[in-house]
Amino acid sequence: DLWESTGAVTFDDVEFGYTADRPILPSFDLVIPAGQTIALVGSTGAGKSTLAKLISRFYDPTAGRVTLDGIDLRDLHPKDLRRAIVMVTQEAYLFSGTVADNIAIGKPEASRDEIIAAARAVGADEFIRGLPNGYETDVNKRGGRVSAGQRQLISFARAFLANPTVLILDEATASLDIPSERLVQDALQTLLADRTAVIIAHRLSTVSIADRVLVMEQGRIVEDGTPEEL
């Protein structure tokens, strides 16, 4: 049977540094209840991406532990971990291949109907159908003929199809045109429903849809509240 997580994440007294002489997270505690949407903000170098990478197990803590449903990430089967936690990076990388391949990268067995349903859910179906070869259009790593906003939507469709219990999103800083901005924002709402999410947020509109905002400075949480409180 497949293990199903609920998506509760904790940092228990986590220490982490890229090098031994310079701790980035000195002693970090955080409880993220299942289903909560967190917007993570703070100045450059504060440790936001580092936090995201610890949840997605790009790195392991040097002390303490990060848990999913109370289980140390190091004790989870890599397959379960990859299924449960998905990170969407700032660059929204595309791979050389078709749009359909790009959406299905985390679920190669997905049918065409599932791929289209995922694209529809995040509002990407319309522009994809407008591409020269629709879902069969080749894109290169940089996106080729798709815009930054469209690239985001493709990566959202990919995440929607993968359907993780925990979604980590490093929001793009690149400015989008107004129609894309609105599409991406709507897509985000759909993507966030019924899962835990940690978004490194650069847009006020994203912060406002979060349940909880964490302000990070120098590896510590300096403010923790609702968007209305902060």
Question: How many C-beta neighbours within 10 Å does residue 120 have?
Answer: 15
Do 226 and 64 touch, CB atoms closer than 8 A? no
**Closest C-alpha among 125, 127, 122, 118 to residue 145:** 127
Q: Long-range pairs for 130-137 at CB < 8 Å and ≥24 separation? A: 131/99, 133/98, 134/99, 135/98, 135/99, 135/100, 136/98, 136/99, 136/100, 137/98, 137/99
In this complex, which beta carbon is closest to ligand ATP, that of residue 147 or of residue 218?
Answer: 218
In this complex, which beta carbon is closest to ligand ATP, that of residue 22 or of residue 77?
Answer: 22
Q: Looking only at residues 37 through 56 of this chain, which bind ligand ATP when binding is defined by CB under 6 A?
A: 42, 44-50
Taking CB under 5 A as the criterion, the residue among 49, 56, 67, 102 binding Mg ion is: 49
The minimum distance between CB 46 and ligand ATP, in angstroms, equals 4
- Please choose, out of 43-51, 78-86, 118-126, 129-137, the segment that lies near Mg ion by the rule CB under 5 A: 43-51
Q: Looking only at residues 1 through 30 of this chain, which bind ligand ATP when binding is defined by CB under 6 A?
A: 18, 24
In this complex, which beta carbon is closest to Mg ion, that of residue 49 or of residue 165?
Answer: 49
Instruction: List residues near ligand ATP by CB under 6 A.
Output: 18, 24, 42, 44-50
